[in-house]
Amino acid sequence: MLTLASEIEVLARFGRALADPIRCRLLLALREAPAHPSDLAEALGISRTRLSNHLACLRDCGLVVAVPVGRRTRYELADPRLGHALDDLRAAVVAVAADRTCADADKEGCC
């Protein structure tokens, strides 16, 4: 069983991964299907160097894995449950954003 400290560390790594819009887009793209770096760079409209740095971060966070395919490397989510987690998180964030029950939200800039 995971200890509380390791659970917090895992969540922090996931948060670091989601802290950058490009990494979010990468995770969502890989949620759809595994892909080669050249295809991901083209789909996201970024350089291969920039993509490589973001993929390295996601690998270090344990969220994606590199799978050798002949002379190329394909990237995919490290676990299929990550795709479900991304879907659940996105749905929860959208639901919370839509629920503006705070009467002072616009005036205070909160919620």
Segment holding 74, helix H or strand E: strand 72-77
Nearest to 63 by CA among 48, 79, 47: 79
Q: Given pLDDT bands bounded at 50, 70 and 90, which one contains residue 104?
A: low
Predicted local distance difference test score (pLDDT) of residue 102: 63
Give the span between the Cα atoms of 78 and 58, in whole angstroms: 10
> In this structure, are residues 22 and 54 in contact, taking their beta carbons and an 8 Å threshold?
yes
Give the integer Cα–Cα distance in Å for 31 and 109.
33
Average pLDDT, the chain: 89
**Which percentage of the chain shows pLDDT scores above 90?**
62
Q: Please list the residues that pair with 109 across neighbouring strands.
A: none
Model confidence at 111: pLDDT above 70: no
pLDDT over 70 (residue 106)? no
pLDDT of the residue at 94:
85
